[in-house]
Amino acid sequence: MPPDYGEGQRQQSQLADRVLSWRTDPDNSRVGCYLHGEVGHVYTLGVHGKISNLLVTKQALERDGISLVRTDRGGDITYHGPGQLLGYPILDLHRLGLGVKGYIEALESAVMLTLSAYAIATIRLADAPGVWLEPKGARPLRKICAVGVHVNQGITTHGFALNVHTDLGYFTRINPCGFTSRGVTSMAQELGNAPPFAEVDGLLSQRLAQVLNIKIGSFSAGSHPTV
């Protein structure tokens, strides 16, 4: 994943076209590519996202050098930045035999399995994609990983955003995913100290391969191996 979000989107689009072209090649058994890593500070709006969920002015973002980008993924507004693991599997769902709902559940399962390795218990919600932690004491229901995808001609783009050691202060500038009464958390906040970013990245790549029953060619951060 390149550090510039816009460049990542351009790469994602190019890779989606490439994956679609593989479908007509009888000698090609590959089902996709995987972009993953960190990006610089950016707020993104989903296709139905409401600008009213941005709680500061665009001018305030510009002063801080933070972009606001409208995307074609599902969901509302969220934040991406350092310390957050972005994973964008660009896959041919036709070849995988998956529907959109099953694919989203697979992404959630891979993240949940990864977090369970660090003794972080998580749940799903019927009304909101992503991976959540149940209320605990004074702490509300809170999201640790956002999930938002786009599917065109059976090819997936976008994916998940797992807060490893993300600065959660950036979420105070928005209603994350459009919610006003639900919180946001990170692995660092839940554990006291975050595990190494590369370790989480590698483990999540493995769990993703396990859940989708695919082989990911490389676990190196920032790469886009074929699968």
Catalytic residues: 177
- In the chain, % helix, strand, coil (3-state, to 5) comes to 35, 30, 40
CA distance 129 to 104: 8
CA dihedral (95, 152, 33, 27) positive or negative = positive
CA distance 208 to 113: 9
Q: Which strand (E) or helix (H) includes residue 30?
A: none
CA distance 216 to 225: 7
Side-chain half-sphere CA neighbours of 26 within 13 A: 0
The single-letter code of the amino acid at 153 is: Q
CA distance 2 to 5: 7
CA distance 155 to 17: 9
